[in-house]
Structure 1
Amino acid sequence: MLKLEHLVKDYYTGDEIVHAIRDLSVTFRDNEFVSILGPSGCGKTTLLNIIGGLDNYNSGNLIINGRSTRDYTDKDWDTYRNHRIGFVFQSYNLIMHQTVLQNVALSMALTDVPKEEREKRAAAALEKVGLKDQLNKKPTQMSGGQMQRVAIARALVNDPEILLADEPTGALDSHTSVQIMDLLKEIAQDRLVIMVTHNPELAQSYSTRIIRLKDGEIVSDSDPAADEEEVQNARGSLKKPSMKFRTALSLSFNNLLTKKGRTLLTAFAGSIGIIGIGLIMSLSNGMQGYIDRVEQDTMTSYPISIEDNTMDMSVLMSAMMTGSDEEKQPYDGTVRSRAFADKLLGSIADTEKNNLTAFRKYLQSPEGKELKETASAIEYNYGITMHVYNEHAQGDKLVTVSPNGLMEELGMSDMISLRNQFMGGMSSSMPGSEVWKALPAEDSLRDQEYELLDGRWPESEEEVMLEVDENGEISDFTLYSLGLMNQSELVQNYRDLQAQKTDEIEPGDPVSFASDELLGMEFTLVPNSDLYRKVGDIWVNESGDEEFVADAVKEDGRTLKIAGIMKPKETSLGTPHTMGGVWYDRSLETWLRDEGKNSDIVKEQMEHKDINVFTGRKFGDSTELSAADLTPEQQMVLASMSQQELMDYMASYNDAANATYDSNLAKLGIYDEDTPTSIELYADTFEDKEKIGDLITVYNEQQQAEGNDANVISYNDTVGAMMSGVSDIINIISYVLMAFVGISLVVSSIMIGIITYISVLERVKEIGILRAMGASKRDVSNVFNAETFIIGLLSGLLGVGLTVLLNIPISLVIQKVTGVAGIARMPVAGGVILVLVELVLTMVAGLIPAQMAARKDPVQALRSE
């Protein structure tokens, strides 16, 4: 039962008050067809809107099934409209971008009725009004009468207690009007139908009760309801309507489809900022990837190297670059000295000894696990000098490949030795370096640095690799050193140049080798211990005796064969420069050590740890050799020597006088795996390299805390210090550019907010329709939030997609100019973040228009066109 008591409704228009409803009281039965007649402006529609919960009254009371509505909240009114009221309007008020079925089912979506049930009930309602075959049509494809039937089906689908019809036949012809009125009369048989009309004939023909209004008051009532007729018809607790976000998405998506062109242009405009940031991010990511590759290549070429004796290179560089620390004075006619030599010599003398035995033990322990895992590879070197010869060298001479005999022949060995003392490992790529080198112990590091061109990788210690450059070339210096070109000719030319017999050395004709000629080429390794001969009580180094060495090569040498040809891998910095050489597998060092342990000289040295086998004296006795010290047997041997041999013998003896037990074993090829001479720590990135440095610092602090100052590690990382800031510079530039481009992103988001506001203005009537069906203010807000969500998502995806496409030509142009490929690459995570950022900014920009839509007066919204 619906009851109005002393209802008053006033409107304020400027300074004037319009009294729309004046102290109106009326009671409606649960089942009747009531027509409300009266002239325009008498308050008919206002009364209908108040009954329907679209408009509020100023005073009085509206009682629904015995409950006053004075304390109704917005949610209560929404629930009331959704469950108890059905509206039929003169202008139909259908949502034009929805199908007929969707229009009718929409009110059920507000109460989360399952989709299948919604469609079933909506189809049944449409069938009831005679539109069974029109379900998928749009309202624009239907006649006025058909659209009004759709409106009636929509009003009935939730089985409301009250049907409110505002001029339902006002826009219809007479024939259609009769059909609609017949339908309303049938509906009124089991519910209350209240119709506002200007047509008294229709009211007389179909209504069971006629109420006439004038100036907001009832002037007549053909069949007033008595108080005793009041019936309580409560349905119990009703579910409060709440639109699912997917329903809001569906509404907004269908609306956007009606404006495809504008939607795409809006999305494109919104994507411009994303494209700008995306391109910067792509270039930054590509540059970072390039830097990472450079880092990895650099780290591979320049690992952290910890020597058993380390010179502080920073002091040396400071001496060379900064000069004196004294206060500078301008020239005043006096020429003053600047400290350089003292600093230079001081830096050389100020070497620190590293306890690599303790450090290696730390790396193998659980405490050093993090440092070991941070390093991509760890190489242990033992300072082993191999004696390798080429019996089949060009010319008639036995060529000493290792140690490099060419430098000895040219008289440059002393100069190279001195330079190595100053430059350390930095001289490894300069002429005079050994051409016989060790491959990385770890295959992963080998495969990272080198590429196999022909043959295979070593499968045993007697197989070695020949290194060439990217063009398959080897420097002639290396070929001479390996005996593949006539070494004697080069030496003679050099001597002629020194003797001024010629002004220059004419380069020889280029030589070439088929891979078959090189694969299988043999070298001979002689164990270090086999190059010594015992004379009396001492052992004499015979490596300078060509005849002795030749015999050792034939009798004691091990044949080594070239198994494959390799080249350095091309890196982001280009293919590394190489002079070529022969590389052996580390297992050969183990073989050399095991062979040496079985020799007489090593056994003798190990049995007498306090006696130097090369002098016959105790270690530490540095007294030079004199004739009185020689035994008769030694004197006989020396007597048979030539003068040069005797001088060599004496020099060898005196050099050995300052030796130690460990240095003697190292000279004989014997090493302890727990005592390396250097440790190389490889890292893939500068971050890892810095972390390794930090972990070494942690190790040093731990050793100092435990009182083991002798175990503190000192090392130099000049290359890392020079290149560590590159990534930071790229990141700073990228962030600054992104900040500038981000302005366009904000501007585009504001523009989307404006477009959303325009959409609100275009969909005002839709707002009124949704409110009439029971949609809350929040539901209306969500409809427009859903629209900005779709546009924001489309803008983000469009921006990222266009960025990916633009990266293709940008990368090609950069590759053509710089030779660096794939420099513009959008990171997947970055693309996702950009889409989310665009989505959030768009949603924020659309909040104000959405709130404006939610605050729209539903009555005013329904009147808009």
Structure 2
Amino acid sequence: MSYLELKNIQKSYFLGAQEFPVLKGIDLNFDLGDFVSILGESGGGKSTLMNIIGGLDRNFEGQVLVNGNKLDHQKEKALDQYRRETIGYIYQSYNLIAHLSVLDNVLVSLDMTTLSKKDREKRAQELLVKVGLADHMKKYPKQLSGGQKQRVAIARALASDPKVIIADEPTGALDAQNTEEVLALLNEIAAEGRLVIAVTHSEIVAEAGTRIVRLADGQIESDERIRPAYDSQDKEMLHSRILPRLASVKTAFKHFRHNLGTNSLIILGTSIGLFAVVLFSGLGNGISGYMSNQITKIANPQVMSVSRYVKSDDDDQSFGQSTDDKPAFTQSQLAQIKKLKHVSKVQSADTLLNVNAGYNNQNVKMTSLSTWNDSYSKDSVVAGHAPTKTGEILLDETAAAKKLDANNYKDLIGKTVTLSYQTLNAQKQPVMVNFTATVSGIGKSSTRGLQMNAVNATTVQNALKQANLDSDPKSISVKIDDLDNVTDTAASIDKMKSGSTRLYKTTTIQSVISQVQTYVHLATTILSTIAGISLVVSALMIIVTMFMSVTARTKEIGIIRALGESKRDIRWLFISESVIVGLLSATLATVFAYAAEFAVNGLLKGTADYAFVQISVGNVVTAFALALIISWLAALLPARRAAKLNPIDALAND
């Protein structure tokens, strides 16, 4: 039984409805150890027959049997495996991959074998030594002569240890000396027990083999044996495997490096968009953190503000609002809140508006005067102490103290000031409240525009009683035992009812911070979205570049498909290169972003000792995720187009 059999192979091309037969019933048998030359003039069907034998052409009638088993040309995966395991190609035009070195061109086939990396490199080197290229392994195809290129092609064809070598006009582009040397190599290959099929129109090539099949007008004209076939050797061949994805990534990186100039521009363009997204996200983190920091400096996050609930409260989230128009807490209601789990202290938190302060014939109107409680930070006291005792007051440095005594405002500490403000009695009539207080300290808010004027709560209650007004607080501060319990306790207070009527409305520092962060996040998202528009442009750049790459690498696609790579391998090759561009873009964008963070924070250090740009790990991860998604999506269509290319048409591309 012959190793390779062709039975009634017929092939026609069609131009519209008109049929042009190319092969008209070819029957041939081939044995291992034979060097068979298929001889004929151009247009006689030689190349078509070669493509059918090599598993590239699937549209024909007839059968191809390999070692007695029919090769199903309709099963693409089976054909890929057949080309990987059984077929090795040697082309007239060499068909070497330009961006790969001589050694890497040979390793392309070996990547689809089960050999270890070390053994693959060893075998590639041994084959190059065998064909006389020991000193040229690191060179690239453009640095070789025609004869040397053909030797590389022979070494590559032998790399995967195939049983059948198909040589398409193997000496067509060579001089006499190189022709003689290549024919000698082909005979050596046949002598190893392989089947060598040379497709040629040269009598010299035909007579160098062991058998000549003459083909004319799509039919076998003669089949002549000119010398005995070599003995076929029964030896263990290399085992093939599906190309590992890592091998595709490495090949993609080599092509990326070969076109570094173009790819660098794409990386730069993509990285600018990613950089803007990361920077704006970091800026949002910094501003949000700064606002939270400033708020927590003013007020203790373990203390919440509680007022009596009225419907308008749903729309009022201000911390420290006026309490004149709100109902007061009864003593039973205060006791009810004090009994709640996790509540450690309940204090008055009323705010008086437009309070006149007088000292030594100087007067100033304070826009707000709050009762001191645990919600305030003692860091806001810059001189003296907080008004913790009855009859004490804290004056804001800029808004009050300096206006009462511009030259020696700190000397006000220990002095008595007169205070008055207007409020409403139970009949909604205006009443003037007058009282005095001793300055215990000078306050200063870390937030611009906010005054730090505070008075002892008992002092205000006593003044209200003297004016025959209700002294019960209209707003209270509730201190919680642990920060983790603030949110749940606030929710419990908000749910408290008298019948169906809601009683209380809470405002926590966390809710204020959350609202501020929401606004900052919204602004950051808008800025990042605007920056993200450039990413769309970058994606289009990658798509165009990948399509151009498919066009430029059409022949390469045909070569690696002939070597046995599948459509999946082709898709992964182009997707890998695009993903490499995306990853490097994200890396460059991250470097730019951290450099900008360092520069911006350094420039703003004099304004506020705070890092206004805070790039988080999450921001960097987001940049890499965006880069991967964009590069992957951008490569899908070009990769799909590359995978769908007909190997025969791709090989014919110049």
Given that 1:757 and 1:849 are in contact with CA atoms closer than 8 Å, whether structure 2 keeps it comes out as yes
Could you tell me which residue of structure 1 aligns to residue 432 of structure 2?
A: none
Percent identity over the alignment is 31
| 2:395–2:442 CA contact under 8 A, matched in 1 | yes
Partner of 2:429: none
Distance 1:118 1:66 in 2: 31
User: Is the CA contact (8 Å cut-off) linking 1:29 and 1:230 kept in structure 2?
Assistant: no
Q: Which amino acid in structure 2 is aligned with residue 786 of structure 1?
A: S
Q: What is the CA distance between 1:239 and its match in structure 2?
A: 6.2
- The offset of 1:150, in angstroms, is 1.3
Which amino acid is the alignment partner of residue 640 of structure 2? Q
In the TM superposition, what is the alpha-carbon distance from 1:482 to its structure 2 partner? 3.6
Question: Is the CA contact (8 Å cut-off) linking 1:78 and 1:241 kept in structure 2?
Answer: no
Instruction: Determine if the alignment matches structure 1 residue 97 to structure 2 residue 112.
Output: no
Does residue 484 of structure 2 align to residue 694 of structure 1? no
Deviation at 1:18, TM superposition (A): 3.0
- Secondary structure at 1:159 match in 2: coil
Counterpart position of 1:331? none
Task: Give 3-state SS (helix, strand or coil) of 2:172's partner.
Answer: coil
Inter-CA distance 358–826: structure 2 relative to 1 (3 Å threshold): closer
Contact 1:97/1:138, CA 8 A, preserved across alignment = yes
What is residue 461 of structure 2 aligned with on the other side?
Answer: none
What is the aligned partner in structure 2 of residue 246 from structure 1? 246
For residues 316 and 766 of structure 1, the distance between their equivalents in structure 2, rounded to whole angstroms, comes to 72
d(CA) in 1 for partners of 2:158 and 2:212? 23
Are the counterparts in 1 of residues 583 and 628 from structure 2 also a CA contact under 8 Å?
yes
| CA shift digits 1:215-257 (9 cap, x unpaired) | 111101103999xx99998989x96642222211111111111
Letter in 2 for 1:142: L
- Helix, strand or coil at the partner of 2:13: strand
- What does residue 680 of structure 1 align with? 479
- Report the CA distance shift for 1:783/1:382 in structure 2 as closer, same or farther (over 3 A): closer
Superposed, 1:440-459 pairs within 5 Å as 449=379
- Whole-Å Cα distance in 2 between the matches of residues 345 and 188 of structure 1? 106
**Number of the residue aligned with 2:622:** 833
For residues 8-59 of structure 1, the C-alpha deviation after alignment (integer angstroms, 9 at most, x for no partner) is 1122345543322111111011111111111111111111111111112411
Taking the TM superposition and a 5 Å limit, the aligned residue runs for 1:224-303 are 241-300=241-300, 303=303
Distance 1:570 1:276 in 2: 34
Equivalent residue for 1:544?
none
**Equivalent of 2:56 in 43, 54, 57:** 54
Q: What is the Cα deviation at residue 115 of structure 1?
A: 1.3
Shift in Å, 1:780: 0.8
Once the 2 structures are TM-superposed, how far is the Cα of residue 145 of structure 1 from its aligned partner? 1.5
1:363 matched to 2:369: no
Displacement of 1:478 in angstroms is 6.9
CA 1:724/1:162 → structure 2, altered by over 3 Å: closer, same or farther? closer
Matched, 1:199 2:143: no
**C-alpha spacing 1:346/1:181, structure 2 compared with 1 (3 Å):** closer
Instruction: Tell me by how many angstroms 1:200 deviates.
Output: 0.4
Cα 1:362–1:28 shift into 2, 3 Å: same
Distance 1:453 1:800, change over 3 A: farther
The one-letter amino acid paired with 1:76 is A
Say whether residues 1:758 and 2:548 are aligned partners. yes
Tell me if the contact between 2:342 and 2:485 (Cα under 8 Å) persists in the aligned partners: no
Does the C-alpha gap of structure 1 residues 759 and 311 become closer, same or farther in structure 2, counting only changes over 3 Å? closer
Report SS of the residue matched to 1:169.
coil
1:731 equivalenced with 2:521 (yes/no): yes
47-56 vs 735-744, greater mean Cα deviation: 735-744
Task: Answer with 1 or 2: which has the greater Rg.
Answer: 1
Residue in 2 aligned with 1:801? 591
Report the Cα distance in structure 2 between the residues aligned to 1:317 and 1:235, rounded to whole angstroms.
Answer: 84
CA contact (8 A) 1:28 1:225 kept: no
After superposing the two structures, state which structure 1 stretch, 254-263 or 69-78, moved more. Answer: 69-78
Deviations 1:201-220 (A, max 9, x none): 2321x211011111111101
- CA drift at 1:577: 6.4
Work out the CA distance in 2 between the residues paired with 1:768 and 1:253.
Answer: 19
Q: Aligned letter for 2:198?
A: M
Offset of residue 95 of structure 1: 1.3
Structure 2 unaligned blocks of 5 or more = 316-322, 350-356, 361-367, 386-393, 420-440, 457-465, 467-475
State how many pairs are aligned: 584
Whichever residue aligns with residue 859 of structure 1, its letter is I
Instruction: Look up the match of 1:862.
Output: 651
Partner of 2:159: 157
Contact 1:271 1:795 in 2 (8 A): yes
Aligned-pair CA distance for 1:719: 8.2
How far does residue 813 in structure 1 lie from its aligned partner after superposition? 6.8
Cα deviation per residue 1:706-749 (whole Å; 9 max; x = unaligned)?
x9x9xx98566498888764332333333334344433322321
Candidates 601, 621, 634, aligned match of 1:845:
634
Q: Is the 8 A contact 2:80 2:565 kept in 1?
A: yes
Which is richer in strand? 2
Match of 1:426 in 2: 370
Aligned position for 2:332: 353
Counterpart residue type for residue 522 of structure 2: I
Distance in 1 of aligned mates of 2:101 and 2:573: 17
Please, which of 125, 128, 132 is the counterpart of residue 123 of structure 1? Answer: 125
Deviation at 1:159, TM superposition (A): 1.4
The structure 2 residue matched to 1:220, chosen from 219, 222, 228, is: 222
Q: Read off the aligned partner of 1:202 and give its amino acid letter.
A: V
Q: How far apart, in 2, do the equivalents of 1:317 and 1:16 lie? A: 83
Q: Which residue of 2 aligns with 1:108?
A: 110
- Whether the 8 Å CA contact 2:32–2:232 is kept in 1: the answer is yes
- Cα deviation, residue 467, structure 1: 12
Distance in 1, matches of 2:257 and 2:132, equals: 29
SS in structure 1 opposite 2:327? Answer: helix
**Cα distance in structure 2, aligned partners of 1:20 and 1:286:** 74
1:214/1:234 Cα in 2 relative to 1: closer, same or farther (>3 Å)? Answer: farther
Question: 1:793 corresponds to which letter in structure 2?
Answer: L
Instruction: State the AA in 1 paired with 2:580.
Output: I
Q: Distance in 1 between matches of 2:650 and 2:512?
A: 70
Q: Aligned partners of 2:449 and 2:348: how far apart in 1?
A: 29
Q: Which residue of 2 aligns with 1:82?
A: 84
Q: CA deviation at 1:382?
A: 12
Q: Could you say which residue in structure 1 is the equivalent of 2:66?
A: 64
Give the alignment of 1:811-830 within 5 angstroms: 822-830=611-619
Q: Compared with structure 1, are the counterparts of its residues 854 and 301 closer, same or farther at alpha carbon in structure 2 (3 Å cutoff)? A: closer
What SS class does the counterpart of residue 842 from structure 1 fall into? helix
Q: CA RMSD in A?
A: 4.9
Higher relative contact order (CA 8 A, sep 6+): 1
Distance 2:505 2:57 in 1: 84
Once residues 451 and 155 of structure 1 are traced to their aligned partners in structure 2, the CA distance between those partners, rounded to angstroms, is 86
Q: Which of the residues 2, 8, 14 maps onto 2:10?
A: 8
Give SS of 1:222's match. strand
Q: Contact 1:100–1:136 (CA<8 Å) still a contact in 2? A: yes
Please state if 1:778 is matched with 2:577: no
* Mapped partners of 1:317, 1:244: distance in 2: 62
Q: Which amino acid aligns with 1:54?
A: L
Give the Å deviation of 1:6.
Answer: 0.6
Is the 8 Å Cα contact of residues 210 and 221 (structure 1) preserved in structure 2? yes
Aligned CA distance change for structure 1 residues 570 and 772 (closer, same or farther; 3 Å): farther
Aligned to 2:354: none
Q: How does 1:381-530 map to 2 (within 5 A)?
A: 426-428=370-372, 449=379, 479=411, 482=414
Distance 2:13 2:253 in 1: 37
Tell me how far 1:88 sits from its aligned partner: 0.7
Would the alpha carbon gap of residues 162 and 828 (structure 1) be closer, same or farther in structure 2, given more than 3 Å must change?
Answer: same
Kindly provide the amino acid, as one letter, of the partner of residue 370 in structure 2: M
Rounded Cα–Cα distance in structure 1 between residues aligned with 2:234 and 2:12: 31
CA 1:570–1:148: 2 relative to 1, 3 Å: farther
Amino acid at match of 2:201: H
Q: 1:575 to 1:346 in 2, by over 3 A?
A: closer
Is 1:312–1:351's contact at 8 Å kept on the other side of the alignment?
no
Letter in 1 for 2:255: N
Structure 2 CA distance, aligned partners of 1:185 and 1:230? Answer: 12
1:141 is displaced (CA, Å) by 2.1
Which residue number in structure 2 is paired with residue 669 of structure 1? none
Query: 1:452, CA displacement in angstroms?
Result: 11
